[in-house]
């Protein structure tokens, strides 16, 4: 995959090394050229100097052909802006942002951003997301992942809503709770979910690809 890593601090440099080490084409973006020294001599990807949400900088980094982008600076505002530019302007299929301040989690959730929050193992968590799938993974139990995500219904669907029983049927998925316009609840099989609702679900990790169409980037 062609992957852009925005931010070359401790997290970004570690993430870039992990991704490059398994064969991905990695480009690292940072406004400080001295930060690229953290990548080490073995890094075989590209580096681009500039602001992460500058369209010219992102184009130089190859965002037009980008499969995934990770915004991992220590500034939540920069990460959010970069993620939105990548998703909304360039349609990058998979965007993951680092959440540095947990108090801003609501903003990330309302925008439907896939993110990782914390100060340790952030690079490994984002690496796992890029490698294996979408949605914010809360926990794993054997073959099952607990995901929190914004529900996505395709524009060409005949409906902009779906019953829980229809969403679960044949997919090894169990919808645990949902939030619609600030009102949350535990669903029944007859509960109707709307496009954009926040959902917590248990999903069989081996069948994640069958369920990805319902997870908003």
Render 102-126 in DSSP notation, one character per residue: GGGHHHHHHTT-EEEE-SSSHHHHH
- Same structural domain for residues 35 and 98? yes
Between the CA of residue 70 and those of 6, 94, 212, what are the distances in Å?
6, 9, 19
Cβ-based neighbours of 123, under 8 Å, separated by 6 or more = 10, 11, 12, 14, 15, 18, 72
- Same structural domain for residues 104 and 80? yes
Q: Which of 70, 97, 132 corresponds to the end of one domain?
A: 132
Q: What is the pLDDT of residues 86-130, one digit of tens each?
A: 988 998 888 888 888 777 777 777 777 787 776 445 666 666 666
- Residue 28 or 94, more confident: 28
Q: Which of 77, 104, 132 corresponds to the end of one domain?
A: 132
* Percent above pLDDT 90 for the chain: 31
Instruction: Report how many domains make up the chain.
Output: 2
Q: Which of 88, 115, 132 corresponds to the end of one domain?
A: 132
Residue 30 belongs to domain with CATH number: 3.40.50.720
Query: How confident is the model over 9-34, as a mean pLDDT?
Result: 90
- Same structural domain for residues 157 and 66? no
- Same structural domain for residues 120 and 180? no
- Same structural domain for residues 118 and 205? no
- Same structural domain for residues 33 and 117? yes
What is the band of 132 on the pLDDT scale with cuts at 50, 70, 90? low
- Same structural domain for residues 114 and 13? yes
Phi then psi for 179, rounded to 5 degrees? Answer: -135, 125
Q: Are strands 25-30 and 46-49 parallel, antiparallel or unpaired?
A: parallel
- Same structural domain for residues 126 and 145? no
Query: How confident is the model over 22-46, as a mean pLDDT?
Result: 90
Q: What is the pLDDT of residues 145-161, one digit of tens each?
A: 888 888 888 655 455 88
What is the band of 215 on the pLDDT scale with cuts at 50, 70, 90? confident
**CA 186 to mean position of chain CA atoms:** 25
* Percent above pLDDT 70 for the chain: 86
What pLDDT does residue 196 have? 84
Domain extent at residue 98: 2-132
What is the band of 41 on the pLDDT scale with cuts at 50, 70, 90? confident
Query: How confident is the model over 172-199, as a mean pLDDT?
Result: 89
What pLDDT does residue 125 have? 63
């Amino acid at each position: 995959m062609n992957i852009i890593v925005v931010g070359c601090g401790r997290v970004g440099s570690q993430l870039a090394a992990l991704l490059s080490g398994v064969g991905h084409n990695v480009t690292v973006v940072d406004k400080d050229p001295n930060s690229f020294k953290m990548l080490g001599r073995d890094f075989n990807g590209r580096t681009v100097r500039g602001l992460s949400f500058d369209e010219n900088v992102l184009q130089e980094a190859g965002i037009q052909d980008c499969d995934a982008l990770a915004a991992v600076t220590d500034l939540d505002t920069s990460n959010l802006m970069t993620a939105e530019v990548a998703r909304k302007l360039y349609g990058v299929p998979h965007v993951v942002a680092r959440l540095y301040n947990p108090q801003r989690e609501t903003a990330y959730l309302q925008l439907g951003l896939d993110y990782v929050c914390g100060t340790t193992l952030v690079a490994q968590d984002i690496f796992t997301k890029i490698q294996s799938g979408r949605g914010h993974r809360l926990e794993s139990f054997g073959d099952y992942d607990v995901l929190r995500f914004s529900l996505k219904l395709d524009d060409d669907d005949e409906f902009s809503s779906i019953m829980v029983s229809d969403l679960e049927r044949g997919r090894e998925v169990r919808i645990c709770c949902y939030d619609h316009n600030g009102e949350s609840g535990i669903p029944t099989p007859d509960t109707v979910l709307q496009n954009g609702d926040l959902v917590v679900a248990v999903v069989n990790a081996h069948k994640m690809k069958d369920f990805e169409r319902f997870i908003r980037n």
